[in-house]
Amino acid sequence: MMIELFTYETPNGQKASIMLEEVELPYVVRTVDLMKGEQRAPDFLRISPNNKVPAIVDDDGVDGRTPVFESGAILVYLAEKTGKLLQAGGRARSDALQWLFWAMAGVGPGIGRFASVALFSKDPDPALVKTLAEEVVRLFTVLERRLSEVEYLAGDYSIADIGAFTWVAYIRQPITKYATLPPVAATDRWLAAIAARPAVQKGLRVPKSAVRPPSART
């Protein structure tokens, strides 16, 4: 009984490895080298039709061997498989799913686009960088407002936090070179609490160390 994790050292991949560490399921790591285009290999497309990491294959799914792609879907799948980090019903479940969808639709794409243009492209268009940085600031504003009211996004620590954490942690310092952040005391408290979790520390090291944006490398 084993889960295969197809991943690479990116904030999207780390959501899945953090979750596997949190729920303590045994898993093996299959590194998909995005630099070599392995995400477009026909065998991988059968598991992840959108040719992106992360994806998992659970050889002990309810219907037998079960592939799951999209980091948000992986978080929900593993939470439901183990009964951990997502309530079975009620307001707490609804809150967790709302904030998880917010993380998937807003945080990942918003911070991901900013990072790829501002931190990784050779000659970024300053007007585009400004527009993308404004969206990152807006996301931090939403997050800070929520975390000023509750300890974690859905009250207790849940998959919603894992869904947002990796990208927010990744961009927390680099963004300050491009934009003035609003107050982030509650966000920093939340980041520190999550970063202190042993499962998070282990998950962040899968498959190797995290990719640092060039501007954050020392």
Ligand X SMILES: N[C@@H](CCC(=O)N[C@@H](CS)C(=O)NCC(=O)O)C(=O)O
Alpha-helix residue ranges (DSSP H) falling in the chain: 11-23, 42-45, 71-82, 90-102, 108-114, 126-147, 159-171, 185-195, 198-204
Q: How far is the CB of 29 from ligand X (least distance, A)?
A: 15
* CB of 22 closer than 8 Å to CB of 206: no
Q: How far is the CB of 32 from ligand X (least distance, A)?
A: 7
The residues, any chain, with a CB within 8 Å of residue 25's CB and separated by 6 or more, are: 3, 78, 81, 82
DSSP letter at 105 equals: I
51 binds ligand X (CB under 6 A): yes
Alpha-helix residue ranges (DSSP H) falling in 24-125: 42-45, 71-82, 90-102, 108-114
**What is the rounded distance in angstroms from the CA atom of residue 148 to the CA atom of residue 5?**
34
10 binds ligand X (CB under 6 A): yes
**What is the rounded distance in angstroms from the CA atom of residue 55 to the CA atom of residue 68?**
6
**What is the rounded distance in angstroms from the CA atom of residue 132 to the CA atom of residue 193?**
27
Q: Binding ligand X by CB under 6 A: which of 14, 39, 87, 158?
A: 39
Q: Specify the stretch interacting with ligand X by CB under 6 A; choose among 67-75, 80-88, 119-127, 135-143.
A: 67-75
Q: Binding ligand X by CB under 6 A: which of 79, 85, 99, 108?
A: 108
Q: Specify the stretch interacting with ligand X by CB under 6 A; choose among 49-57, 118-126, 146-154, 184-192.
A: 49-57
14 binds ligand X (CB under 6 A): no
52 binds ligand X (CB under 6 A): yes
Q: Specify the stretch interacting with ligand X by CB under 6 A; choose among 51-59, 115-123, 154-162, 167-175.
A: 51-59
Q: Specify the stretch interacting with ligand X by CB under 6 A; choose among 64-72, 78-86, 142-150, 180-188.
A: 64-72
Q: Binding ligand X by CB under 6 A: which of 70, 95, 144, 161?
A: 70
Tell me which residue of 89, 85, 90 sits closest to 74, measured CA to CA. Answer: 85
Q: Judged by CB under 6 A, how many residues of this single chain contact ligand X?
A: 13
The binding site for ligand X (CB under 6 A) comprises 10, 12, 34, 39, 51-54, 70-72, 104, 108
